[in-house]
């Protein structure tokens, strides 16, 4: 199966700063990649699909890029509500697989 590796495991960022999260696939997943935000006790939230398309209602400060095996989620100016764990998911190869997550914490 396709292994998704996210880095870093934890990212410490001050509010208002930019956060850059990476996701690497063990084999090409084309642009079939999604990003999700998870907060404790809440339903996971779809942010990005197709590597770069923002889901409905997602603020423009979230952007996704990449194709093949290297992907990036950028949060341009962190707001208090953005401190959470972020997961990437590939859906190009069976079975679809998730990364281990990047925790974005307050610096």
Partner 1 sequence: QVQLVQSGPEVKKPGASVKVSCKASGYTFTDFYIHWVRQAPGQGLEWMGWINPNSGGTNFAQRFQGRVTVTRDTSISTAYMELSRLTSDDTAVYYCARFHGDYGLGWFDPWGQGTLVTVSS
Residues that bind partner 1 (CB under 8 A): 32, 34, 36, 41-46, 49, 55, 87, 89, 91-101
Q: In whole angstroms, how close is the CB of 95 to partner 1 at the nearest point? A: 5
Q: What angle do CA 105, 75, 65 make, to 5 degrees?
A: 125
Nearer to partner 1, 26 or 92 (CB): 92
Nearest to 89 by CA among 75, 71, 103, 104: 71
Which two tokens mark 71? Answer: 């992907």
Nearer to partner 1, 3 or 106 (CB): 3
Nearer to partner 1, 17 or 105 (CB): 105
Q: In whole angstroms, how close is the CB of 61 to partner 1 at the nearest point? A: 19
Nearer to partner 1, 14 or 81 (CB): 81
Q: In whole angstroms, how close is the CB of 39 to partner 1 at the nearest point? A: 11
Which one-letter DSSP state was computed for residue 43?
Answer: -
Who contacts 40 (Cβ-Cβ below 8 Å, separation ≥6)? none
Residue 81 has phi, psi (to 5 degrees) of: -75, -5
């Amino acid at each position: 199966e396709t292994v998704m590796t996210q880095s870093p495991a934890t990212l410490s960022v001050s509010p208002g700063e930019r956060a850059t999260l990476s996701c690497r696939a063990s084999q090409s997943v084309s642009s079939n990649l999604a990003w999700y935000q998870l907060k404790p006790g809440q339903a996971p939230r779809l942010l990005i699909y197709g590597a770069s398309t923002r889901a409905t209602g997602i603020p423009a400060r979230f952007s996704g890029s990449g194709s093949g095996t290297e992907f990036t989620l950028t949060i341009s100016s962190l707001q208090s509500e953005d401190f959470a764990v972020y997961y990437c998911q590939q859906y190009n190869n069976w079975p679809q697989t998730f990364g281990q997550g990047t925790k974005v914490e307050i610096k």
